Structures are given as structure tokens and as C-alpha cells.
Amino acid sequence: MSKNTQKNQKLFENASETPEEVQDGAPAKEESKDFSPISALNEELAEAKNQYLRALAEIENTRRRAEKDREEAAKFGAAALARDIITFVDNLERALKCGPKGEEGGDVASFVQGIAMISKDILAALARHGVQKLESDGQPFDPALHQAVSEVASPDQKPGLVCETLQAGYTLNGRLLRAATVVVTK
């Protein structure tokens, strides 16, 4: 072989060596992963995926909050109307308490019966929409449901019981609409 052929052969052999064999058998330096374009793109991709997943989670949370708010509005949206109507029921019940007792026949008895029917119908309509009247008489006083306006001594009942309801309390779908105004035993 000629000298040029031997030189070319040597160059060809050197070119086929692995990087570890280059530089006198010393291992080649590994490229830093921080500066590799592929590593940088992988990090960007991971960050983009993370942001995407966070955005999806935020959208789902917003959807859930909106659904809950919509359900709350549908369930309790009539609260103001119900408060106004129960005032009419209170007035009808007061009229019944003040009406003549024990009269049979006559216009007054029919009037009292009519008021009782109206009161019953209004309460039934309210009940169809989730409004319930609190039954307080004889129950233990509960500050979450009752507003005590006075206390009376009663030898017949234990202390802390509601002995008289001055104004009925109401709930709307289990949530207090108005506390009952009561007299409590001491």
C-alpha cells in the first residue's frame, strides 16, 4: 500500500471510533442535559402539559361551582317570596285566634271557617315548594330555631321548653327561613 492509502485508511479508522475512544482513550464528555435542545423541548412540553392539566382542573371546578350555584338559586330563590307569604298566614292565624268561639251558624262562623281554609291552602302551597312550619310548642328551646321574647315559670313543664309560640318559624328546604318567636319556661 502506498503512504497515501495508509493515511486515508488510518483517517477512516479514526472516524469510525466511538467518542469514548477519542482523545487518547479518555471517555468523551457527556453533553449537559440542561443545554441539550431535546431536553429543553421536553421540559417545555412537560410545563405545557402541566399548565393544560391545571386549566382543565380549573374549568371543571368552575363548572361545579356554577352548577352548585344554579341548584342553590333554584332551591332557595323563592325565599323572599316565601317570607312575604308567611306574613299573610300569620295575619290569618291571628284573625282566627281573635274570632268568636263556639258560635254555630251565622256569617261569623262561616267567615272564621273561610279564613281557616285559606290559611290551610296557603300552608299547603308553601309545603309543595319546600316551606315547612316549625312545630315549637312543647319542644326544647333551640336558639338556632327560636327567638325567645320572655320566660315564664311553669310548675307543669321542665325548664327550657317552649310553652307558647307567638309567631311561627319556617324552614325552606331544611334551611331556616324565619325563627319562631316563643315564650320559654324557666
Q: What value does the mean pLDDT of the chain take?
A: 81
* In the predicted structure, residue 101 carries a pLDDT above the cut 80: no
Q: What is the pLDDT of residue 64?
A: 97
Q: What is the pLDDT of residue 21?
A: 46
Q: What is the pLDDT of residue 89?
A: 83
Q: pLDDT tens digits for 3-20?
A: 555 655 554 555 444 444
Q: What is the pLDDT of residue 22?
A: 47
Q: pLDDT tens digits for 102-135?
A: 655 557 777 778 888 888 888 888 888 889 999 9
Q: What confidence tier does 88 reach under pLDDT thresholds 50, 70, 90?
A: confident
For the full predicted model, state whether its pTM sits above 0.85: no
* In the predicted structure, residue 24 carries a pLDDT above the cut 60: no
Q: What is the pLDDT of residue 171?
A: 94
106 vs 137 pLDDT, higher one:
137
Q: What is the pLDDT of residue 82?
A: 83
Q: What is the DSSP string of the chain?
A: --HHHHHHHHHHHHHTS-GGGTTTTPPPPPPPGGG-HHHHHHHHHHHHHHHHHHHHHHHHHHHHHHHHHHHHHHHHTTHHHHHHHHHHHHHHHHHHHHS-SS--SHHHHHHHHHHHHHHHHHHHHHHHTTEEE---TTSBP-TTTEEEEEEE--SSS-TTBEEEEEE--EEETTEEEEPEEEEEE-
104 vs 162 pLDDT, higher one:
162
Q: What confidence tier does 85 reach under pLDDT thresholds 50, 70, 90?
A: confident
Q: pLDDT tens digits for 60-83?
A: 999 999 999 998 888 888 787 888
Q: What is the pLDDT of residue 33?
A: 47
Looking at the domain that runs over 77-185, which CATH code has it been given?
2.30.22.10
